[in-house]
Structure 1
């Protein structure tokens, strides 16, 4: 596994963990999900461009 693949997997897990569907994260709102989603998009673009 390359570093980019590992980073992508970790970011996807963070995105799922930040969803406000569980009691401990419901009060956070959608801000953490949006932030992790933006980082995930940036990493995917960098992977596609071959920068990672």
Structure 2
């Protein structure tokens, strides 16, 4: 995962309120942040779909 000191950009995602609440609650229960989970998924998505 990226280091917070690196250059970063902010983005936003619109989700249904109930989905956002459930996502936040699961992250809290797992002791992680929504940002960490989303970053991990985005990096994995990029790796999976990168052109050779």
Q: TM-score range by the shorter chain?
A: 0.3 to 0.5
Which one has the largest radius of gyration?
Answer: 2
TM-score (norm 1): 0.37
TM-score by length of 2: 0.37
